[in-house]
Structure 1
């Protein structure tokens, strides 16, 4: 019905010095600095004075906003300035163009900084804690539709993070008291001509501004007011038209579009002229696809465009050819990442297409088709999570998150769509729970369940997923309320599947509360219900692992091992890796209890590598705690204390350390007792402090006894702070180094 998505995209966010080094005589390549600024793909033309002014403003103030008309080059200037800045903890780009909900601004900033947090702390508090002692430059781009939320967040961060500087980029200021504003004017004639020549030569090899076309090119750039976007669009048309032909076509198109909105300021009319002129040069099919592509909230792939944008006036088989023409005209850009080729529209170009879509009266139908496609994507990904493609599913949802957010927003704001919104938020449970997105999952689930969508299967699913998320966040009150409501309504309506999931997650609450007898009873009941209805997926396997944990804590090691070996076999048969990590953890715990030290270490290290690959901080920190104990038992109390310190840094991003559980906390307590006895309190605390300065990537690498970034088995390493983020100084402890 929906088709299968085979292409995906994950943007390459790399600093220039990650690809290039200083090769001058006598110098060596420097290690990459932390940050996520994109690599420049073409020449940066002009703006020498503006760059100097921006650098001076950043030296003088902690908040600088570059303002100006859309398409004038604000983002490019800001990124160039940020790329030459050298804050100790990196320059980070926060792109808000695809964010529509003000409540998600803080999530977007946390995402850009690659922060993961499973606790009940607000994203703002997570950001404040992270930035408190760091020297960071944040480049916040595309905030104009979220001014109030951004101004509030930026003001708070600047007041409480002395090492933070913010470079904002938008069509208007943030209007905060400490803001320095740098208005950006269009390019002067010489630079506009140089830009035109560079972009034209890239698309039409051999083109050059010469005596035969210099006058036409200069007049063309003048008529386009030196706006870089307009100049680049014009240069892209040289495949079909000469500079003289381009110039001759501007007269009528400018006259036609200048008065489209007579109440708009001149700068908006000028931009609309530039984009509208490119629009007028398109064929009917190209204009139609342009308008329909505006429904996407972020990058998209070909299959999505073919499904959503086809229909009256445009057959699905023709979408690829028409899309190719839009690519040639720079209306759409092509990007390639680890999961394949994807396409993107500049925000101003997309907005122009959206106006035309509204004018055609087809916007509502396009938004429904967009919703349908991403509902299908979520459904397919949920099913495919239990398969050998689990890691690819995680990457695909990462790439499609802006569009999934758009579909969720549509469902939760349109009449009669609530039920589908609840279904969509619930179907993404594997992403919220398995890929470090608990806080955002909680946001959407809370919103969906605040609305009255009835008590059908969609709402019941959202309830048990909310309960699951809240359990992992340590919010036992919210978890129990959601799960009890789900159980009561499921029993009333005869929903066997919702009843099983509710009982399962209530059993998890008992497990974390150290009520092992009740946990065993509830988990066995849930597993029996799963068998009766024929349910088999990652949730069911996780229920077996959780039952095994309860049995192991009660001393029933043989039964626990039998359950986890069964889980391991099913995971191997189906290619499932996320649940396998937890099964390996329990098997490692059992092996240690039996005195099989080498086997225990091997199992838990494999568990840690898998957890880290999925960015599952809960599994990661549990494994590090157990490896710390093994290290102490092996006679290395210094390193054991360092690993405990590393775990102490991760726990606040997960929830209550060790869930406040005596059973889960047992290995930690034993490790600490032995390490303190051998080291003394002062030395123990010194080693713990060293570990507490390790960033998560560095902590995992240390626990695995590898160099940072060397774990080739991971889906992706979340470089939260880069190598500089490990917080270690010369002379401090390193993996394998005794204190």
Structure 2
């Protein structure tokens, strides 16, 4: 359930460490399941650390769950405007259009029985309440399970306040955590008294048990007893549970060494998860050497302050929100918060710079997976840049450098919001703003939003010429040519794209953007009837891509080659090329590349004598197009294969059978549509994150160091 980058709560075998043990709670679990059956909105409330997320995760995975269960972790979200984006992303509803994310949710969830698990919304109550109210009102099949420290305040809300563990359950949890460390503690008075002092709050009990390697239960009780008296004056009966938890965390904090306390505070700048190398860079210095961070971090894991989890990109570490908030308070009190946030920003600025360069390399798949894992931290860095004085130019640079994430990995809507925010700011750094402008224009082109695209690209071109920024001129000209291509102005598209490619050659630019320009020129040539030139251009792109290990631009070259193969009477060759193209586009979550491939595959399938399957594929593509924008850009040229396929299939099947097959295809979700088009299951490609899927109904090493980089052009895709 940790997401937005992971959309659904995982099955039990994949739970993060802090959710693996589920001691007791059987009665609460049954009661929550009953509440979920009786009400469409149930909110689990309680003090931090009481086990709300654990209980909700189990309930969502249990028999009360419907066919689709999706979890959204909202704790890392700071801007209320991004709540809806987080939900759209968590549900895997890739949408390239200019629609508001709420419209996407309403459209794509209509008629689907979905249980939406919203965790950690308490700092975003107003935004969440408004969204949930409208979704429930307009989506009768939707249910919501919310988790927070306070209610949403909606009339239809059924509250489920979660109390701490009972005495026996707390003792059992303490003993279980001891066993995990290879220790054994009996059911002795000291353990019972300790759990009673901690009032059965699971997180507090686990923090105490994390100290058993160094202290006996009696010693733990003595130290905790001293702290309670210090903070509360000995009034045990009057201890509010929030104070109890804070006391327990503070007590655990006091038992840490100075180095452990220092690292705890500094780690609070990370959003969600982080890796060792990021921690070593961001948190080292001024009392903590980089080479000591690993050992100190390992101690924090041993003490349950941090948890370690294995991911597709290697080991990552997570700090619970309550523990992070405590560390953040200490960081603020030390007057070091601003400096650490800047170091955090520097690391992720450097990461984005290296990922942009590595996108044009055999590590392209690894880059996609890495950026997927780091999105919460990249968002935090963007937010810092765009809200702090004198940082706007770095925000513009960062938003522009992530073009491959927005355009290549299916995040156009989010990217456009960051880019629009960044270019609205006066930064005083022309190059950074120009880069953000051409990327904004590019994103708008892909969304089919012509006027904003042209506005951004024209401004970029004019300002770049005044500033003598030749790279920005080339990129602006290139994307203006792309706009002409999708609006059927082939002559203008060819002129602009050839000019941009000449400029790239003069500059020595060679990257995925340059290759896409050559593919787009090939499309313009193909649509004008010169298939030989189109094939020549795309074979050259394919060769360069294979030399450099590039897969994203290569998939678009394969699309053009497949179109040419079909036009030249080789549907079998076209089908093989399109299968390769679709596998890659889908693996990168590139919805435009996927739907274009499916559309052309439908025509190829009809040409191979299977009009019924062709109609099914057209129906599947028809379901995907609303998330891309206007079907086939509204372009006569892009639409011609669709029209021909429909004509062939209708003639062979008759109108009634054709429409029946289209409806069958329209019932396929994106994953099923791709699998159907490929004629088999979807194979994840090496280095890429797996496709996003709903939570199963089950019950049951770090990469190379990325140094922080300054936003100066180092060649390749950092230009502009």
Pick from 679, 690, 699: which aligns with 2:673? 699
Pick from 588, 593, 598: which aligns with 2:562? 588
Pick from 486, 500, 508: which aligns with 1:512? 486
In structure 2, the residue matched to 1:457 is 431
Deviations 1:328-369 (A, max 9, x none): 101011011121111110110000000000011111100110
Pick from 263, 268, 274: which aligns with 2:242? 268
**What SS does the corresponding residue of 1:453 show, helix, strand or coil?**
coil
User: How many angstroms apart in 1 are the aligned matches of 2:15 and 2:637?
Assistant: 44
In structure 2, the residue matched to 1:374 is 348
User: How many angstroms apart in 2 are the aligned matches of 1:12 and 1:463?
Assistant: 31
In structure 2, the residue matched to 1:151 is 129
In structure 2, the residue matched to 1:209 is 186
Note if contact 1:306-1:316 (Cα within 8 Å) is conserved in structure 2: yes
- Within 5 A, what are the aligned runs for 1:319-468? 319-454=293-428, 456-468=430-442
In structure 2, the residue matched to 1:536 is 510
In structure 2, the residue matched to 1:185 is 163
Note if contact 1:10-1:398 (Cα within 8 Å) is conserved in structure 2: yes
In structure 1, the residue matched to 2:34 is 56
Pick from 263, 266, 274: which aligns with 1:289? 263
User: How many angstroms apart in 2 are the aligned matches of 1:637 and 1:721?
Assistant: 32
In structure 1, the residue matched to 2:144 is 166
Identify if the C-alpha distance between structure 1 residues 14 and 73 changes in structure 2 by more than 3 Å, giving closer, same or farther: closer
Pick from 76, 81, 86: which aligns with 1:98? 76
**What SS does the corresponding residue of 1:576 show, helix, strand or coil?**
coil
Note if contact 1:117-1:653 (Cα within 8 Å) is conserved in structure 2: yes
In structure 2, the residue matched to 1:232 is 206
In structure 2, the residue matched to 1:85 is 63
**What SS does the corresponding residue of 1:238 show, helix, strand or coil?**
coil
User: How many angstroms apart in 1 are the aligned matches of 2:62 and 2:696?
Assistant: 19
Larger relative contact order, structure 1 or 2 (CA cutoff 8 Å, min sep 6)? 2
In structure 1, the residue matched to 2:715 is none
Number of aligned positions between the proteins: 690
Note if contact 2:6-2:692 (Cα within 8 Å) is conserved in structure 1: no
1:16 lines up with 2:11 in the alignment: yes
In structure 2, the residue matched to 1:671 is 645
Shift of 1:11: 6.2
Shift of 1:43: 2.9
Note if contact 2:8-2:695 (Cα within 8 Å) is conserved in structure 1: no
Pick from 99, 120, 123: which aligns with 2:98? 120
1:653 lines up with 2:630 in the alignment: no
In structure 2, the residue matched to 1:312 is 286
TM-score (ref. length: structure 1): 0.91
Give RMSD over aligned pairs: 1.9
Note if contact 1:295-1:367 (Cα within 8 Å) is conserved in structure 2: yes
In structure 2, the residue matched to 1:718 is 691
**What SS does the corresponding residue of 2:210 show, helix, strand or coil?**
helix
Note if contact 2:8-2:90 (Cα within 8 Å) is conserved in structure 1: no
User: How many angstroms apart in 1 are the aligned matches of 2:32 and 2:631?
Assistant: 44
Gap regions ≥5 residues in structure 1: 1-8, 20-35, 725-739
Shift of 1:634: 1.1
Deviations 1:552-592 (A, max 9, x none): 00011111111111111110110000000000110111111
In structure 1, the residue matched to 2:24 is 46
Identify if the C-alpha distance between structure 1 residues 403 and 714 changes in structure 2 by more than 3 Å, giving closer, same or farther: closer
**What SS does the corresponding residue of 2:309 show, helix, strand or coil?**
strand
1:634 lines up with 2:629 in the alignment: no
User: How many angstroms apart in 2 are the aligned matches of 1:652 and 1:358?
Assistant: 46
TM-score (ref. length: structure 2): 0.93
Pick from 449, 452, 457: which aligns with 1:478? 452
Gap regions ≥5 residues in structure 2: 698-720
Shift of 1:593: 1.1
Deviations 1:431-484 (A, max 9, x none): 000001001001101111121223610000000000000000011010000000
In structure 1, the residue matched to 2:542 is 568
**What SS does the corresponding residue of 2:316 show, helix, strand or coil?**
strand
